[in-house]
Amino acid sequence: MGKRVDNIFIFNNLIFVIEFKVGEKQYSASAKTQTIDYCLDLINFHAESNQQKIIPVLVATQAEERSIDWSKLIQLEDVVCCNELNLKQTLEQIIHQYADAAPIDAIRWLNSVYKPTPTIIEAAQALYQGHQVEEISRSDAGAINLEISSRKIESIIETSKRNHQKAICFLTGVPGAGKTLAGLNIANQRLKADESEHSVFLSGNGPLVEVLQQALARNTVEIGKSRGEAVKKTHAERDAKTFIQNIHHFRDYYLQSQEIPFEKVAVFDEAQRAWQKDQVSNFMKQKKGIQDFDISEPEFLIQVMDRHPEWCVIVCLIGGGQEINTGEAGVIEWIEALKQNYANWKIYYSDKILDEPVYLPETEQRKWLKQQGICESSLHLAVSVRSFRSERVSQLVHHLLDNEAEQATELYKNVKNDYPIFLTRDLKQAKKWLKSKAKGSERYGIIASAGARRLRAEGIDVKNKISPADWFLNSPSDVRSSYYLEDVATEFDIQGLEIDFSCLAWDINFYYEQGWQYQAFKGTCWQQIRQKEKQQYLLNAYRVLLTRARQGMLIYIPDVDNADWTRPKSKYDSTYQYLKRCGLEDLS
């Protein structure tokens, strides 16, 4: 985001994407990746480029001549390398090889719709550098989109400020719909609107916070370097940490201080994951030495913002069915806190909170919210922008996890051409597929449930903690990066983030046998999970894992024998067979 290709040259049916590196004597790997990324951007997001032949051309003016690998060129597996002396000759050679008599309509091409769908990392960097959300989000007709939701929340903030009111907004959305992006945009826009009204983006998702803070800091340093400015990384990191904070650090600060918060607008990402009263009470006793803490995390956070004498706004970003850990409250605790102690606050909520029990299952609270709150349909993001190749992936996952094989099969028929999902029993084949699908800097990696303990026999160790910033941001040459396919990200590492292609390694902590079965590996054996709440956490963990890839996914289920009694063949096979009944095809 925020980068532009040097030249686009259209000749007949060909689109040349030309990147110049003036004075360079080498065709560097980073320059090649950059050139391919520009081509992918056109293919994925520009309507009139989607079905055209796009040729990546890298011109390093002082480099030596290179021959063209024609077999890799059209597949964007390599670029055309040339210098200042043979550029004309090289273009003529390509035209002779590929051009035909059906020219592209240049005017139509220029006026074609461009619908960028950046990753949350790219989007955060763009917003932080001054871009508008309209520039970096899609504009699909008929979708309740990011721009509309952002404008609605801006309107609520201005109304609250004007009328000296305190308000809370609940923004909902399907997985990958851009809730985090909407929150970052709101926090960023308020900083621009009035510097005296500080805003903050808060998240209890430690890996997300770490990755975004590092991404913003690294990008700031890189931009400074390109402008000839010396920007210290420590300064860039400090500024990024002011804009994006860990919610637990925010909480702990105001536990010790009774001062009025610096921020008038607080955006809470993944607010459904805030802790219930028992969870936070136990934490305070064990970790903070506070014996009498008897309120939930949502209630404490509202209490802190309520210290403002005139107005303030809390924006809660809610993902339905994405609570993945013990003690996570969901929407219930937020509503209960408002009902019991903060009935004077204005409450704005998405219509989906009442329409879909996954958000708010309690009948009494639903009734109270309907009476006291203000329903706004524009506070729901209905369309996934993560899986831009198919916006029906989250619905497919819903059917798959709800034991609706027939519906999943029908939906996958409409999805698979744009968004491939395959099964495999061969891990080497899975890794080969990932590497073959990704082009340029498109990111791929292996993901698995944190409870998938017996994947260790396959060399997949979910207990080996990763560095999220390194896994998501580092280059293919770094062994800590996702590209190396050694370190595995769990639902706790990847929730709220995304990669282009994923391999989900599936273990029998969650297996199919006449319905979904739940178990946890304790000591040396599997134990059945009977508690409904913990079953739901595990189901949600797989929901998160199944919705992390933007462009395609491979599900790897080990092909075992019965030599290891902790890995019974029947449980792996029955899960594999169920997924095949859902329409998924084996890669082989």
Domain-embedded: residue 353? yes
Residue 141 has pLDDT above 50, yes or no: no
Give the residue-averaged pLDDT of 568-581.
Answer: 98
Q: In which band, very low, low, confident or very high, does the pLDDT at 2 lie, cut at 50, 70 and 90?
A: low
410 and 321 share one domain: no
pLDDT for position 259: 93
312 and 437 share one domain: no
Which of the residue ranges 354-358, 391-395, 525-529 has the most confident prediction, judged by mean pLDDT? 525-529
52 and 195 share one domain: no
160 and 27 share one domain: no
Q: Of 56, 89, 110, which marks where a domain is finished?
A: 110
Number of structural domains found in the chain: 3
How does pLDDT run across 350-380, given as a tens digit for each residue? Answer: 998 888 877 887 778 889 999 999 999 999 9
Q: Of 356, 381, 406, which marks where a domain is finished?
A: 381
397 and 265 share one domain: no
Domain-embedded: residue 303? yes
With 0-12 / 13-18 / 19 or more C-beta atoms within 10 angstroms meaning exposed / middle / buried, residue 574 is middle
pLDDT for position 122: 84
Domain-embedded: residue 85? yes
Sign of CA dihedral 331, 336, 341, 344: positive
454 and 344 share one domain: no
pLDDT for position 135: 58
Q: From residue 68, how far is each of 31, 80, 103, 346, 407 by CA, in Å?
A: 17, 6, 24, 64, 47
The pair of three-digit structure tokens given for residue 188, joined into one six-digit string: 């960023």
Q: In which band, very low, low, confident or very high, does the pLDDT at 131 lie, cut at 50, 70 and 90?
A: low
Q: How many CA atoms lie within 13 A of 152 on its CB side?
A: 23
Domain extent at residue 553: 393-586
pLDDT for position 142: 33
Round the average pLDDT of the chain to a whole number and report it. Answer: 89
Q: Is the pTM of this model over 0.85?
A: no
Residue 20 has pLDDT above 60, yes or no: yes
Cα–Cα distance, 519 to 528 (Å, whole number): 4
408 and 554 share one domain: yes
175 and 61 share one domain: no
Q: Of 346, 381, 416, which marks where a domain is finished?
A: 381
Domain-embedded: residue 218? no
Q: From residue 293, how far is each of 276, 284, 286, 340, 554 by CA, in Å?
A: 12, 7, 11, 17, 45
Residue 144 has pLDDT above 60, yes or no: no
pLDDT for position 256: 87
Cα–Cα distance, 20 to 9 (Å, whole number): 13
What are the φ/ψ torsions at residue 10 (nearest 5 degrees)?
-105, 125
Q: From residue 48, how far is each of 15, 76, 116, 496 by CA, in Å?
A: 11, 18, 14, 31
Domain-embedded: residue 234? no
400 and 375 share one domain: no
446 and 310 share one domain: no
508 and 453 share one domain: yes
Domain-embedded: residue 212? no
pLDDT for position 139: 45
**Residue/partner pairs of 368-375 with CB below 8 Å, 24 or more apart:** 368/335, 368/339, 369/335, 372/338, 372/339, 372/343, 372/347, 373/347, 373/348, 373/349, 374/346, 374/347, 374/348, 374/349, 375/349, 375/350, 375/351
How does pLDDT run across 64-123, given as a tens digit for each residue? Answer: 999 988 888 888 999 999 999 999 999 999 999 888 878 899 899 988 877 777 778 888
Domain-embedded: residue 282? yes
Cα–Cα distance, 443 to 434 (Å, whole number): 9
Give the CATH number of the domain where residue 327 resides: 3.40.50
Domain-embedded: residue 564? yes
* 8 Å CB contact between 462 and 452: yes
pLDDT for position 390: 60
Cα–Cα distance, 292 to 437 (Å, whole number): 55
| Percent of residues, the chain, with pLDDT higher than 90 | 58
343 and 407 share one domain: no
What are the φ/ψ torsions at residue 443 (nearest 5 degrees)?
-100, 140
